[in-house]
Structures are given as C-alpha cells and as structure tokens.
Chain A
C-alpha cells in the first residue's frame, strides 16, 4: 500500500517537478518500500507510454482551410485589390477579364507605397490569361516589334484602379520602366500570367514612382495602379519605356 504523500512525490518526480528536498524524501521512501518502488515503476511505464505516442498528422489541407476562413483586419493605408475591383467598372466586354483578374489576385493584401526601394517580391502573383477578352475596354495601347523583342502594352481604366497589361515576347532580357507617379497614380501590385515560362531573368522593382521590370521570354503580366485622386476627372498619362540589350526599343505615353 502506497500512501497519498508518496504518490504525490512519485508523480511529481515523473513529471520532473520535484523540489530538491522532496527528491531526498522520495529517495528515502523508495529505499525503504518495495510497494513504492513498484508503484513508481508502473507509473513511470505509463508516463513513457503516453509520452512516446507519435503525434497525429492533421489533414493535409487543414491549414489551407483555416487560412481561407480567416480575414485579417485591414489597417489604415492598406487596401485589398479585391476591394478595389469590386468597384472596377469596365465596359461589357471587359467584365469577364476583370472577373478573371479578381479571382486570381483576390488573395493579395497590398500596401501602397511609393517609397524608394519598395520590395515588390511578395506582390507578384500568377493569373490565368484570358485571350478572348484581351484588348477589351482598352483606353490606350502601345505596340512594338523589333528584332529580338515584340509586344503590346494596353491600359484599362477603372474608377479606382488602372490595369496595364503587358504581353511580351523576347529573346533578350527586356527592361521596362513604367512612370506613374506624376499621373497621380500609386502602385497596387502585379498579377503575372506565365504563358511560356522560360524566363531566364525576371525582377520587379519600384522606386520613386517608377516600376522597373526586367524579364525575358514569352510572358504576360498586369500592373495595377491605384487612382488615388479619381474625382478630379482629368486623364492620366503613364510613361513607358522599353529597352532590350541596352538599347531603347520604344517609349510612349498611355492615356486613360
């Protein structure tokens, strides 16, 4: 028979929560009592059995389900592209295209920031291109075709957001500069549709109201620009310059 005090000491010992003076007390009891030793042995075996049970893996998609259900607060100065697109009102032919964009970029929570060196690495996503709607509701566009590089840049405009869609094909590294700050626009993000993912070099950098894109291969991506002063009714001018292999391919202004 093991008394209550001894049981408490044995349990605390098993849990590593025995005080030094209690440890001495338990040692003395164990030395004197075979019952106490047997009890300690049994409880220790049970404890080890429980401790050594392997953790059970949760379902593989559990984290994804959790993440999908949680909405984080939006703080002042931050915005959601999905929110912006809810008020994006392109013409009829552009609706499907906008919906496609919305579906693919809605998980981005972006923060407008024109500060130098703003890291856009986390603001580049993948979308599914919708060729049937390409060109719909285009306010302005720019096309170019030079040896080694060809493409179009088209501008779609909305009340809250402008979308610059780039379709490029190049054998050399292409550098694109998009200057939008003077037009009163802010950077919103990039949705990247990889048509032929053979790009050897790709980067996005924003600094001082200018987005600089470097890439290569056949690609399509959309740059979202925020129309912060949408109520003034004036048109916006976005300067675009495309270079390849160190030489300017084209430069132009898109208006919307």
Chain B
C-alpha cells in the first residue's frame, strides 16, 4: 500500500471514530509537520504550538478534506499557512543580535560544526516568508516542484522562480557569514 492509499484508509477510519487510525496518522505526520513549522518559524516552541494547531484544524475540518488530493499536501498546506499566520501575528519577530546579522562575520571566519545548523536556520530566517517556505518544502520536506505547487497552490513556474531566487540569496548570505 503506498502512502497515499494508506493515508486514505486511515482517514476513513478516523471519520468512523477510530482513534487507533488517528494515532497512526499523527505518528506519521507529527515530525515532518513539526520540522516544516520549525524551519519556517525558527523556534521549536512555536513550532510545537503550530503543530498542535495544524492537527486540530486538520481533524476539525476532516469533512472538508477532498480525497482526490493527497493528505500529505493538505496537511502541509495547513502547516505552512499556520506557520505564516503565526509569523504575521508577530509571535516570532525576535530581533537578531547585531553580531549575528549577515555580513558582520568575516568571510574567513570559520564556523564550528555545531553552529552550522544555527547558521543555516538564521540564513533561512533572512529570507522572506514566500522564499523561505519554498526552500523548506524543497530541502527539508523533500517535496518536488509539483508537490510544492499543490501545497502552496501556486504555479510550478512561481515555485521555481521563488526557489531559485531564494537559493541565490541564501548562498550569498551564508558566504558572507563564512559558512558556505
């Protein structure tokens, strides 16, 4: 059974009130949803809050789910929207320390391996939400152009445009920080 058929079967069981099916679905998707939210929000606590809201909304509106679309795309769409809504509500607007903004670290400065993830996350946070979202879906959620297009409900052409521009910006940002 492929993942889409598996999800459909689990959803049907959930709609019949089967909590075991709910546990399976949450088990399958809580980590990827959390990670996508974390990469967009840049904060694990906010990502955990967003993940809870995502599942609440998904199951609250399970009746509106159209089985001709993949559950994967549906829950990621809710996740991305929720993360961006959280950002817009200003919950995550934490000003970066002056020493950490792009370009203040010399290109020759080495970055400890343990700091690499933080540097990358900070590089992501330098991107606009639109750009960050496509980078997250492509590189952290391993979505294809088509899947990103489905999730964000934008043309593939727009996905490519945003992704390519975002990479260019990230490359320059990380190079300026001595990471890349």
List the interface of chain A (C-beta within 8 A of B): 7-8, 11-12, 15, 17, 42-43, 45-47, 49-51, 53-59, 62-63, 65-67, 69-70, 72-75, 78, 107, 109, 122
A109 contacts which of B17, B56, B145 (Cβ < 8 Å)? B17
| Distance to closest chain B CB from A5 (angstroms) | 11
Given contacts A46-B167, A58-B34, A73-B17, contact A67 B56 (CB under 8 A): no
B84 adjacent to chain A (CB < 8 Å): no
Determine if A43 and B22 form an interchain contact, defined as CB atoms under 8 angstroms apart.
no
Q: How many angstroms from the CA of A72 to the CA of B25 in the assembled complex?
A: 13
Contact residues of B: prevailing secondary structure: helix
Q: How many angstroms from the CA of A62 to the CA of B54 in the assembled complex?
A: 12
Q: How many angstroms from the CA of A94 to the CA of B180 in the assembled complex?
A: 70
Determine if A67 and B23 form an interchain contact, defined as CB atoms under 8 angstroms apart.
yes
Determine if A66 and B174 form an interchain contact, defined as CB atoms under 8 angstroms apart.
no
Can you name 8 A-B pairs with beta carbons within 8 Å?
Answer: A8-B160, A45-B180, A49-B116, A50-B120, A56-B34, A58-B30, A66-B52, A74-B17
B135 adjacent to chain A (CB < 8 Å): yes
Contacts of B18 in A (CB 8 A): 72, 109
For residue A72, which residue of chain B has the nearest CB? Answer: B17
Q: How many angstroms from the CA of A65 to the CA of B31 in the assembled complex?
A: 14
Max chain A C-beta neighbours (<10 A), residue from B56, B167, B179 = B167
Q: How many angstroms from the CA of A12 to the CA of B157 in the assembled complex?
A: 12
